[in-house]
A = this chain, B = another copy of it.
């Protein structure tokens, strides 16, 4: 059976180098090595170093490996929030983080935007009691990208709060100024094109200090994956538990490939492919980009209103070897979502557009 092209917004098509790295990993018997061995420390160090370079991480930032970005939501609240967090909610994932804070017994407050848009920072008075402010840079459910210049206003306006950025489905294509935030996180099945099962958590010294302060107050900050335990492990290029060694290996390799290719080039390509998609949907007689504000359109998750044609369009594309995502939550039957990740070639995006163009409703 011919392989399909997956444009689903994560999991999605694997990065084009992953199969080769997987073969090498088996040849090197990576799945068999001990996570307390020198070889594992080298793998950890390679992944860490490549990610540091790729993201231009400042010196006061660190990173840790978790099982998912969902896990980071829980760990962030446990380690960095004693009582109250504040969430910019504009889709299902930002909403879920808000809910998790509540499930963990914190007071969670939010500014909720209409689906397909975001709430400008200046329009909200965030309570001074908010210890953490969460912004979703790229809402995978709606395709809204929170503009970078908006996010960058937060730190100056709320210097006592930790600024947390969800860039799960845009990193490293999105350009984040780490000096304007305190923590960010991603999962590897999006732009890195790996199989799902690993999250990466970037955090700075302020987050560490917060976790220490909460712990010394007697607050439970978790156990094996408290930020302090993760950090302590990371200093030794180790993890507290037996981790997903294989995927850490693969992530290091793919991050290395992206460095070789050049992040600038990856970003220019993403921009080009996004323009192809948005321009196409803008000019389509039946379909339209869901996000009306062109300045808030995600470059990596393109959401189109496809209304009553949605199911037929998805089926039509599937029979032609292309899998796009359905809409999320309330838009399941009226949107399609198209991933524009680094592994999706210009040619594949053009093929997708050309194929949609032959769709007769």
Contact = CB atoms under 8 A, between A and B. Distances in A.
Contacts of A243: 68, 196-197
A242 B103 contact: no
A162 B301 CA distance: 46
Contacts of A246: 195-197
A241 B30 CA distance: 26
Contacts of A73: 223-224
Nearest to A5: B32
Contacts of A77: 223
B244 A244 contact: yes
B71 A67 contact: yes
Interface stretch (A8-16, A260-268, A282-290): A8-16
Interface in A57-107: 67-68, 70-71, 73-74, 77, 99-100, 103-105
A166 B32 CA distance: 22
A240 to B, nearest CB: 7
By secondary structure, the A interface counts as loop
A26 B19 contact: yes
A104 B220 contact: yes
A247 interface: yes
A240 B74 CA distance: 13
Contacts of A103: 220, 222-223, 226
A172 interface: no
Given A74-B222, A224-B73, A196 B14 contact: no
Interface in A211-232: 220, 222-226
Interface residues of A, number: 55
Interface in A21-49: 22, 26, 29-35
A244 B8 contact: no
A6 interface: yes
Interface in A255-295: none
A225 B68 CA distance: 11
A218 to B, nearest CB: 8
A288 B310 CA distance: 69
Given A67-B67, A245-B196, A32 B11 contact: yes
A88 B35 CA distance: 26
Contacts of A71: 67, 224-225, 241
B197 A197 contact: yes
A320 interface: no
A247 B243 CA distance: 13
Nearest to A10: B242
Contacts of A247: 197
A50 B192 CA distance: 32
A13 B103 CA distance: 40
Nearest to A187: B242
Given A74-B225, A77-B223, 12 more contacts: A11-B35, A13-B32, A22-B26, A31-B194, A74-B222, A74-B223, A99-B223, A100-B223, A103-B226, A195-B244, A196-B242, A196-B246
Q: Which 9 A-B pairs have the closest CB atoms?
A: A197-B244, A67-B67, A31-B195, A70-B241, A6-B32, A100-B223, A103-B223, A195-B246, A196-B242
15 contacts: A4-B29, A11-B33, A11-B242, A13-B29, A13-B32, A30-B195, A31-B189, A67-B197, A71-B225, A71-B241, A74-B223, A103-B222, A196-B243, A197-B198, A197-B243
